[in-house]
Structure 1
């Protein structure tokens, strides 16, 4: 596959509410540092990070996922995005998330409902925007069986005030989604998902598609490596499919994820321009039904 000739449009498109985006997007988390787990690495080269963002847009990426808490000792993902891309292209959709944050001492915290407005305003300032396209409410594991109504209601109020255009939820259960939908429309679910996902995760993905809600997997390439990246040995099944197509294992994982439903949006992140081109090119890779089933996903219609 000639990665230099493939653009993000090869993956097709879907809508976040009324905002059309190509199904291959870009995740900004890895822009701020090199190596190690999130928050503990060496600050990235600023010029290279800005170059990657500009190249992503040149390759047709019009969906960028970010957050104000994506930063290292010297780098802020939102600041990099602002510096690289403002004034923003008309078709660029920037999705951010709130919930996690840091207190004045630098310790991580989870925002209460009354703190979410401050986090939204922080994203607005850093990105240099007067409204946010999509804001995801990120749920901590400790709230897996708790109500999110108060938190999501606070964001719905900010949506009504014009600060946010659309709302989504992240790291949630089907019960959380139903609870949120009773308060305000939900345009996307952003959960961990990829090859090796549990049967209930496959079912949740399909249920989102039936409702016309975008499903946005994170760690689609990293898998169990999560924030540290794809650091574990790759499975022979994935390697065999990669060899058959002459592509990388990461490209197989992205293609598999996209083919699990037409409503699935990928947001692979990288600070490497070569990896960026490979990730975008994965949107043109088509796996056979037999390969999809072998890797663990039965293709079904998303609507």
Structure 2
């Protein structure tokens, strides 16, 4: 089986948002998150066309997971992304799908579960190597609280992830849902990225973001516009300052929220997800938005609230 990507291809389209280093490569700062592909489960042709359109527009960083639609997102990517596209597909482990359950996923934190998760991703993506795999924990931000045998020491997990890297199954190791102390512990193992809930209105991890920038670790925020999944989690688009900046620039509040992230730190990589072609174009256009000093000052002054919301 081939690898999911091979560096060195010549780009034919400008990469949206410009570029930034990631796990030894240079990728578009605006990528695509495949979570929303499951909304197109009944329209496979549209799902495939959406991914192809993102690639044609210069996206070369796609984020996925086996538990996105219980393998559906990976299946779409397997069909839509060819070896000549030079697209870096990043996956994650630490949870599994829970179809029909009250919560659509459950934690899978034990080392043997992490290995099984990598094997499942390899199978559904149809590859023998994944450039980066994120270890999804629940130390920080919203999500399921670990209980019982799902309370696993980070060092034990990193040992398994490192073993799979040594075996060539994965390339870089990423961390998701982690705190500052956890990343400090993990840095010696070699960390490619951190994926945490982070947005203009939820900036709990500012110290962690600075650490990642200093260590050359990519910062890949999820819930980049706040949340509508968790009750009580603030939304970027509700902020008067965001709406005012959007009106002055003739763009949407969502675009302003994403543009702020790109301006805030050079190691930020965005992976906004959507199942709608028009929304995809709006997300990619964020890279063309310039925020001047006055706009940035107004946005930086927005109050940050905690993202510590639990599903448990």
| The two structures share one fold, judged by TM-score above 0.5 | yes
Q: 1:57 to 1:105 in 2, by over 3 A?
A: closer
Relative to structure 2, which stretch is displaced further, 260-269 or 103-112?
Answer: 103-112
Match of 2:95 among 85, 95, 100: 100
SS of 1:270's partner is: coil
Partner of 1:26: 32
Matched, 1:63 2:73: no
Contact kept, 8 Å, 2:66 with 2:120, in 1: the verdict is yes
CA RMSD of aligned residues (A): 2.7
Report Cα offsets for 1:73-92 as digits up to 9, x if no partner.
xx7100011111134512x1
Report Cα offsets for 1:251-296 as digits up to 9, x if no partner.
1111001111111000000010000001001011111122222212
Partner of 2:270: 266
Contact kept, 8 Å, 1:202 with 1:297, in 2: the verdict is no
Partner of 2:309: none
Cα distance in 2 for partners of 1:9, 1:139 equals: 30
Instruction: Tell me the CA shift for residue 137 of structure 1.
Output: 0.3
After TM superposition, the score normalised by the length of structure 1 is 0.84
Relative to structure 2, which stretch is displaced further, 81-90 or 228-237?
Answer: 228-237
Cα distance in 1 for partners of 2:260, 2:98 equals: 39
Report Cα offsets for 1:40-78 as digits up to 9, x if no partner.
xxx452111111100000000000000000006xx7100
Cα distance in 2 for partners of 1:8, 1:275 equals: 19
Cα distance in 1 for partners of 2:125, 2:230 equals: 23
Q: 1:296 to 1:232 in 2, by over 3 A?
A: closer
Matched, 1:246 2:250: yes
Cα distance in 1 for partners of 2:249, 2:19 equals: 23
Partner of 1:194: 199
Match of 2:227 among 199, 224, 228: 224
Cα distance in 2 for partners of 1:83, 1:152 equals: 31
Cα distance in 2 for partners of 1:293, 1:23 equals: 23
Q: 1:45 to 1:104 in 2, by over 3 A?
A: closer
Relative to structure 2, which stretch is displaced further, 150-159 or 25-34?
Answer: 25-34
Matched, 1:208 2:203: no
Report Cα offsets for 1:143-194 as digits up to 9, x if no partner.
6997311112101100011111111100101111112223x20010111111
Partner of 1:284: 288
Partner of 2:4: none
Contact kept, 8 Å, 1:101 with 1:110, in 2: the verdict is yes
Partner of 2:79: 83
Partner of 1:51: 49
Q: 1:105 to 1:49 in 2, by over 3 A?
A: closer
Partner of 1:3: none
Report Cα offsets for 1:96-136 as digits up to 9, x if no partner.
00000147997723231122111101101111111001000
Instruction: Tell me the CA shift for residue 233 of structure 1.
Output: 6.4
Partner of 1:175: 181
Contact kept, 8 Å, 1:8 with 1:283, in 2: the verdict is no
Q: Structure 1: any 5+ residue segments left out of the alignment?
A: 1-6, 35-42, 299-303
Matched length: 278
Q: 1:80 to 1:136 in 2, by over 3 A?
A: same
After TM superposition, the score normalised by the length of structure 2 is 0.82
